[in-house]
Structure 1
Amino acid sequence: MSDDLHRSPVAFTPNIEVRADDEAETIQGLNEQLRLIQETTAKDYGTAVRGVHAKGHAIVKGKLEVLAGLAPSFAQGLFSAPGSYDALLRFSTLPGDILEDSISVPRGLAVKLFGVPGDRLPGSEADTTQDFILVNGPAFAAPTPKAFLANLKMLAKTTDTGEGLKKGLSAVLQTVDAALETVGIQSPTIQTLGGAPNTHPLSETYYTQVPLRHGSYIAKISVAPVSPNLTELTGIKVDTSGRPDALREDMGRELIEQDSVWELRVQLCTDLDKMPVEDSSVVWDEEASPYVAVARLTVPAQLGWQHGLSEQQEKAVSFSPWHGLAAHQPIGGVNRARKPTYEMSTQFRGQHNGCPVHELRSLAELPTQGMTID
């Protein structure tokens, strides 16, 4: 058995983070690019949407149950004792413009938990929520904020370009990506630009990709499907032909039929050299440190998307890894860059739409009536 399997988890200390000298300048550049994307899409749609992950495919209510009997290194933060929390889940796709689903790009899952006690992160002191932002890949597409800025500039340039061109490019890139995978190569750049395989979003495992504090330790988090109605979708491709909202439709068909269950899992950092916090592109070795289930996330059978209402709910809510407990502080340059950029994106939506986005305190504050959409 490898010595790596016997390593103790690395203790969290503030000095594990190392800021680049030009980090503030890079964050300013990220804000500028996100603002450019949002200004472009707001002009096109007549309403402001998110700078990234603009298109939602399902927004549903659920419950998170923290498991009993966890080992001390996993029983940290909100997972330190068994408990139950109301949850809101939003499934989305990456771009800042709202595209037809034949343009296949990485998928996202945002989870908001309510009524979470404990010391809060800066800017979140008055809240009682805990957010986790996840994507269907184990590592971030860029190692540093500066590389993230380069990727965002690429996305900004493709915002508002012809959708027909994007469809053609996506089809080509999906073929290229599939060919690369047959020889064991994955290209985050190709997938970000529309080459991600068009598999069913409910079959995917989602990852924070970037590290978080886990109480006394450092971790990444995943959300993995475990109920049979979800696992049987593994590898299933979504038919998007003539169906601009195919993901929304197929997810809705599954979510309304029966309860859906995921496990929330934690992977502890056991080696800072092999599991760095300042290079977000590194996949942490699951053999050296496996993901361990710490909670179950259940979504009772319900509508995944209600036209008119779901759009209003999406406008009313914002997600950020910096909404939460100090025990789950986001770590690393990409996470540090996310705090001001997410705040700017939310403020832009609120200002442009004439309705500031306030952090919800409970599921009861989510809109229950929507506007009529033809």
Structure 2
Amino acid sequence: MSAIALDTPVRYTPAVEEVQPDEAATIAQLNETFDVVLDTTARDYGHAVRAVHAKAHAIIEGTLTIDADLPPELAQGLFSSPGEHKVLMRISTNPGDILDDAISLPRGMAIKVFDVDGERLPGAEGRTQDFIMVNGNVFQAKSADKFLGNLKLLASTTDKAEGGKKVLSAALRGVTSALGAVGVESATLNTLGGAPNVDPLGETYYSATPFRYGDHIAKFSLVPVAPGLKERTGAIIDTAGDRDAIRHTVRDELRSIAGEWEFRVQLARDLERQPVEDATVEWDEEEAPFIRVATIRAAPQDSWDDARVGEVNEHLRFSIWTGLAAHQPLGNINRARRDTYRHSADYRARVNGCPIHEPA
């Protein structure tokens, strides 16, 4: 651990955020663009699905155990006292349409922690804390207006022929592999279909964007530590002839694997080097290390139990703005996500005639 990593973590104040005057207009355009995706997929499927991460691959039930005797800077918010909480975990890929798994895209991990008490974020219902992560440690766009441009491109490809997407994905995987050989990773290429078609159980997931962590500022990660999960790190899933190969592979694996992941926190120590407003900047782990604050464990189970899948996919939403004020999302990208997540959930509720709710 470097000397920089031993410095005192940055204290949170509202001044760490720099709200831009055009953010409301950008958010309105984001919602309009998401509506293109939502309208198209609802028409195709006869049923509204999520605007992003529409295709789930597994729904896992587990327990989050918060570490005892955490130092003061880590004993914050949800993690301020040891204890156990039920969790639901949803593994997905990021488009708003439900594609053949041969079109390889970044993996997502959404976590809902139950029975969480404390001051809530504005509009946050219930007693849950949500964490939403992807298997990449930076966001694809610096700001919401830049993300809007990417989203318009993705919206224009919604409902287009899967055959062409498969060819493009295979070509982009080749480009990504070549870049990886020289130590370069492109979040944009991954988002367009160039991500390696890896087993999601072996992946490390990141919040990618920063959050308030009580008195401090942090990013989060979820790291597989069970031997059965670590064996799957980097494993490529064969999708030939099976459009739901990821679901089937994960389901088979989790019937016998006891899952265990470490939930880790990366505290910002220098806002110049670990900025709040630019989510494309990687926070160097030598300067700001990830440290475990909790463990999630899941017994072997059926990860595609019909009742559980139906409840999570149809009745629940995951949002970074569902949770404690102590874990307020920070930065331009996160501020934009507050309204767009709710917009997508409200659309699903309206079109499907099925209320979206937080568990009691």
CA distances 1:52-96 after superposition (whole Å, capped 9, x unpaired) = 000000012111000112111111111111011010100000000
User: Any idea what SS the aligned residue of 2:21 has?
Assistant: coil
Aligned to 1:323: 322
Residue 68 of structure 1 corresponds to 68
User: What is the distance in 2 between the residues matched to 1:356 and 1:13?
Assistant: 36
4+ residue runs over 4 A deviation: none
Distance 1:309 1:263, change over 3 A: closer
SS at match of 1:198: coil
Residue matched to 1:35: 35
Residue 164 of structure 2 corresponds to which residue in structure 1?
165
Correspondence for 2:262 = 263
Q: How far is the alpha carbon of 1:309 from its aligned partner?
A: 5.6
| Structure 1 residue matching 2:52: 3-state secondary structure | coil
Cα distance in 2 for residues equivalent to 1:309 and 1:2: 45
1:7 equivalent to 2:1? Answer no
Other structure's SS at 1:19 match: coil
Give SS of 2:336's match: helix
Partner of residue 200, structure 1: 199
Q: Please give the secondary structure, in 2, of the residue aligned with 1:210.
A: coil
What is the TM-score of this pair, normalised by structure 1? Answer: 0.94
Aligned mates of 2:145, 2:19 — CA distance in 1: 12
Could you tell me how far 1:311 is from its partner in structure 2?
A: 3.7
AA aligned opposite 1:59: I
> In structure 1, what residue type is equivalent to 2:71?
A
1:312, distance to aligned residue in structure 2 (A): 4.6
Distance in 2 separating the partners of 1:235 and 1:209: 20
Q: In 2, Cα distance between the equivalents of 1:121 and 1:197?
A: 36
Secondary structure of 1:193's aligned partner: helix
Supply the distance in 1 between the matched residues of 2:43 and 2:308 (Cα, whole angstroms).
22
Which residue number in structure 2 is paired with residue 211 of structure 1? 210
Gap runs ≥5 in structure 1: 362-374
Which amino acid letter does the alignment assign opposite residue 9 of structure 1?
P
Equivalents in 1 of 2:335, 2:2: separation in Å? 34
**Structure 1 partner of 2:189:** 190
Which residue in 2 is equivalent to 1:368?
Answer: none
Matches within 5 A, 1:334-349: 334-349=333-348
1:242 corresponds to: 241
Report SS of the residue matched to 2:193.
Answer: coil
Matched residue type, 2:96: G
- The answer to whether the Cα contact below 8 Å between 2:229 and 2:257 also exists between their aligned partners in 1 is no
Residue of structure 1 in register with 2:283 after alignment:
284
What is the DSSP-based 3-state SS (H/G/I as helix, E as strand, rest coil) of the residue aligned with 2:194? coil
Q: What is the TM-score with the length of structure 2 in the denominator?
A: 0.98
| Residue 220 of structure 1, CA deviation | 0.3
* Cα displacement string for residues 322-351 of structure 1 (whole angstroms, at most 9, x for unaligned residues): 000000000001000001000000000000
Q: Which amino acid aligns with 1:231?
A: K
Q: 1-side partners of 2:123 and 2:283: how far apart?
A: 30
- Counterpart check, 1:97 vs 2:97: yes
Distance, in Å, in 2 between the alignment partners of 1:220 and 1:192 is 21
Shift of 1:11: 0.2
Amino acid across the alignment from 2:226? S
> Residue 145 of structure 2 corresponds to which residue in structure 1?
146
CA displacement 1:7-64 (0-9 Å, x = unmatched)? 2100000011001121111101111111110000000000000000000000121110
Shift in CA distance, 248/151, structure 1 to aligned 2, threshold 3 Å: same
Moved more, 129-138 or 306-315: 306-315
Q: Which residue identity does 2:191 align to in structure 1?
A: T
Gaps of 5+ in 2: none
How many residue pairs get aligned? The number is: 360
CA distance in 2, matches of 1:132, 1:20: 25
Asked if the contact 2:5/2:289 (under 8 Å) is kept, the reply is: no
Report the Cα offset of residue 307 of structure 1: 4.8
Structural RMSD (CA): 1.1
The AA in structure 1 aligned to 2:55 is K
CA displacement at 1:308 relative to structure 2: 7.0
Per-residue deviation, 1:6 = 2.8
